[in-house]
Amino acid sequence: MSKSKQNFEVNVHYITRVEGHGNIYVNVKDNVVENCEWSIPEAPRFFEAMVVGRSWYELHHITSRICGICSIGHTLASLKATESALGIAISEQDLKLRKLALHAENLQSHFLHLGFLVLPDLMGVGSVIPLASTNPAEVKIVLQLHRLANEMSNLLVGRTTHPQRLIPGGFSKIPSMSELTAIRKKWQDSIPNIQAVANLFKSLAAKLPDFKRETEFIALTDPNEYALYDGKLASSETNAVPVQDYLSFTNEYVVPQSTAKWAKHLRGSYMVGALARLNINYDRLSPMAQETAEAFNLAPMCYNPFMNSIAQLVEVVHSVEDSIRLINELEKAGLKTQPDYNKPEIKVKAGSGVGAVEVPRGILFHDYTYNNAGVCTRANCIIPTNQNHGNIQLDMNALVPQIANKPQKEIELTLEMLVRAYDPCISCSTHVTKINSDDHKSN
């Protein structure tokens, strides 16, 4: 820390290269941090109120619109909640296809974050646009991988954003085995490109700030696989519990500077996302993914939030390797075809259900109650970014004094990089509300 008296102000209004609207305000006077605030001015959208009064077969379509980037994850969490409430089972084949859909989204989102949002900071530019002329080979590789992830999403769910084929009880349409083996071949052929991206990040890794702050990590966990689609709710500090008990973990509360709610468990805040998953489930990563983590000296417990981007890189490798494995299994079992416009037989009844899925930014919960006509009477959704807001704030509180003697520009960039490392999805996080059927007059 510098001996001279430090005075500075950082005021980032609408931080760029993140999803949604967030502000950073820091004010330091005579070496004393007077203000340090991460605030969310995003317009709230009230999804949980919007879905009350709507039918069980529409909820996944509506809640998909909470987020353009993680629309597959929202759809899957929504379907799992509905299926649990109505007692609907899905086939082993559909389970594998859904896991593939989730990998597709993880790949789409992680490539977007790493290539378009994080890389410019490490290369010292404002966006990926100038990189297209200075580093055309690297940009071409990132675009190729991102396009392939989109192609995979299209194949599994019929869209790149806001899926269509995912419906209660399974799929309205499934890909053919030859389409699946074709996408498998493309991923196998892309492994050198993924390694090239990993090498690029390796060469820039020194630009990631060396900062750490102990915190709690929360993610799904499963003894048999790196949990993404399903599992128990785990913390880095306590025993795992069934996802139905999620409210004992999330404890949301309102803060005045944010239209999004915040969350805490055992400490002042906790972190979800790729780094939380890696810290909790490291030994179930695919072999090549573990090698990638080792190349960056990334192993549990890692308390540097800037390493979340590297954890995403590790997950990219895992998702590719695990997708290849899942397609191999589907091929071995023989893909059962299903009729066009498939519509599983479903018996509607009253009930409640919770669905939890690991989406690119962390654990996502949907929790619904339906009446005996299958109309939603209560909904609660807890989004990863909400769970991270408190952790971002506490990281900032710890980070600002450590970097206060740096030039103003560098302080500003470091704080922006911190927020970007969490890959926040702010539109998602301002969906908020809990509402009961008695409190409004919808049909």
Provide the binding-site residues for another protein, judged by CB under 8 A: 14, 16-20, 43-46, 49-54, 58, 61-62, 65-69, 71, 112, 116-117, 120, 126-129, 132, 143, 146-147, 150, 158-162, 164-165, 167, 171-173, 254, 256, 259, 340-343, 427-428, 432-435, 439-443
Least distance (Å) between residue 15 CB and another protein? 8
Task: Scan for tokens 């102000």, then name that residue.
Answer: 9
In the complex, least distance from residue 239 CB atom to another protein, rounded to whole angstroms = 32
The least distance separating another protein from the CB of residue 356, rounded to whole angstroms, comes to 21
Closer Cβ to another protein, 44 or 223, answer by number: 44
Tokens of 335: 């893909």
Looking at beta carbons only, is 69 or 234 nearer to another protein? 69
Yes or no: say if 363 and 243 are a contact pair by the CB < 8 Å rule: no
Residue with smaller CB distance to another protein, 7 or 127: 127
362 contacts 276 by C-beta, under 8 angstroms: yes
Nearer of residues 62 and 398 to another protein, judged by Cβ: 62
Q: Which CB, 57 or 303, lies closer to another protein?
A: 57
Half-sphere exposure of 178 (CA within 13 A, CB side): 0
CB 114, min distance to another protein, A:
13
Cα–Cα dist 45/54, whole Å? 16
Contacts of 206 (CB under 8 A, 6+ apart): none
Which residue in 236, 211, 215, 249 sits closest to 394, CA to CA?
A: 215
Kindly state the smallest distance separating residue 413's Cβ from another protein, in Å.
9
Helix H or strand E encompassing 37 = strand 32-39
Angle at 440 between CA 437 and CA 442, to 5 degrees: 85
* Residue for token pair 């675009």: 143
| Separation between Cα atoms, residue 6 and residue 414, nearest integer Å | 17
Q: Closest separation between CB of residue 150 and another protein, Å?
A: 6
Residue closer to another protein, measured from CB, 139 or 314: 139
Measured distance CA(272)–CA(358) in Å, rounded: 9
Q: How far is the CB of 425 from another protein (least distance, A)?
A: 9
In the block, tokens 């590297």 appear at 310
